[in-house]
Amino acid sequence: MPLTPILLPSTQPGRNSESQDSQDGNSQPSLFTRHLGNPILSRDRWPYAVNSVFNAGAVRLADGDTLLLCRVEDRRGLSHLTVARSANGVDEWRIDATPTFPAEPREYPEEIWGIEDPRITWVPELEQYAIAYTSFARGGPGVSLALTRDFRRFERIGVIMPPEDKDAALLPRKIGGYWALIHRPMTTLGAHMWISYSPDLRHWGRHKIMLEARRGGWWDANKIGLCSPPIETAKGWLTLYHGVRQTASGSIYRIGLALFDRENPEICLQRGDSWMFGPEAAYERGGDVKDVVFPCGQTIGADGDTIHLYYGAGDSCVALATGSVRELLLWLNVNSSPGDAAAS
């Protein structure tokens, strides 16, 4: 079974003194270090002709391999999901020769324009992985869920959040006896992160906003969404989210950090004031969609602390950056507002 430690961050300072010295939230370098071999996956290395490979879900398998479930956009412009495996999570990827998880619009009409942006959660109680992904059809993007044990056979549960909704991940265990899903519906209230609950993964209710987009000039004003699935630590659910800044020349997708209560994840304990990772490298600033970093998955190293963050760059390729759970928590302690206090 995969490695899914509940992380117990120590109160000791992190190992990277750079970020300790850079606690005003504006200094560089950032809390994440880009891999020198970036981008680690792109269409050039794909076994069949595609337009782009990005926004991959990630998981470390029981055999130690890293598995990426990549969003692959074909040359019609429609997306499907394909598995790439690697022993070190960096190179020598073994990529399925054909789409692993193609859209099935005949049976699932909500997938007529493809499927996108998977977030994978290992669910010990089910002994299966739950994949929350965007299914795209005439009504707009919605959230669909599928289960798998081996990334070869999949059980589709179907649409669990109707359009317009995306950026979803299941928490790995029940909260107060119910499964919990984080997602991002577009409502008249705006594009905020919500949490919903279900007794059976099929029927969902008790919908609540868990994190609001800020307003005005903030980097995460008006539109936010979950990145990779939250990481359970002793201090709470450590959660990366993206903020979308609208500018005269387009959107900038940057990554921020928030911490939610372990037993009541509707409660935001801390929220970073500044973003902590944004487009800087050429492959992030260019591509089909410029100025986008978009993580959908991470794995945690054997030390229980190192985060291997896999992110889509410029909607064109997959890149890797490494960080530390302990350092992210320490950074939040000095760079955050309590809860949602800064939302206005």
Binding site for ligand BMA (CB under 6 A): 55, 116-117, 253, 289, 292, 294, 312, 315
Cα separation, 108 vs 129, in Å, equals: 20
Considering the complex, state which of residue 141 and residue 323 has its C-beta at the smaller distance from ligand BMA.
Answer: 141
Strand partners, 298: 309
Structure tokens at 40: 């680690």
Considering the complex, state which of residue 186 and residue 269 has its C-beta at the smaller distance from ligand BMA.
Answer: 186
Considering the complex, state which of residue 118 and residue 272 has its C-beta at the smaller distance from ligand BMA.
Answer: 118
- Give the nearest distance from C-beta 317 to ligand BMA in angstroms: 12
Considering the complex, state which of residue 130 and residue 226 has its C-beta at the smaller distance from ligand BMA.
Answer: 226
What size, in residues, is the chain? 344
Closest CA to 178 of 156, 208, 158: 208
Please answer whether residues 262 and 314 qualify as being in contact, where contact means their C-beta atoms are separated by less than 8 angstroms.
no
- Give the nearest distance from C-beta 20 to ligand BMA in angstroms: 32
Considering the complex, state which of residue 237 and residue 253 has its C-beta at the smaller distance from ligand BMA.
Answer: 253
Cα separation, 274 vs 295, in Å, equals: 17
Considering the complex, state which of residue 191 and residue 332 has its C-beta at the smaller distance from ligand BMA.
Answer: 191
- Give the nearest distance from C-beta 65 to ligand BMA in angstroms: 25
Cα separation, 317 vs 42, in Å, equals: 5
- Give the nearest distance from C-beta 90 to ligand BMA in angstroms: 22
Strand partners, 151: none
Closest CA to 81 of 70, 73, 93: 70
- Give the nearest distance from C-beta 196 to ligand BMA in angstroms: 20
Strand partners, 56: none
- Give the nearest distance from C-beta 133 to ligand BMA in angstroms: 11
- Give the nearest distance from C-beta 79 to ligand BMA in angstroms: 8
- Give the nearest distance from C-beta 185 to ligand BMA in angstroms: 13
Q: What is the DSSP string of 24-86?
A: TSS-SS-SSEE-TT--SB-GGG-SS--SEEEEEEEEE-TTS-EEEEEEEE-TTS-EEEEEEEE
Considering the complex, state which of residue 239 and residue 324 has its C-beta at the smaller distance from ligand BMA.
Answer: 239
Closest CA to 77 of 42, 108, 103: 103
Letter for the amino acid at 147?
L
Please answer whether residues 220 and 275 qualify as being in contact, where contact means their C-beta atoms are separated by less than 8 angstroms.
yes
Letter for the amino acid at 134?
T
Considering the complex, state which of residue 182 and residue 292 has its C-beta at the smaller distance from ligand BMA.
Answer: 292
Q: How far is Cα of residue 255 from the mean position of the Cα atoms in its chain?
A: 10
Please answer whether residues 209 and 168 qualify as being in contact, where contact means their C-beta atoms are separated by less than 8 angstroms.
no
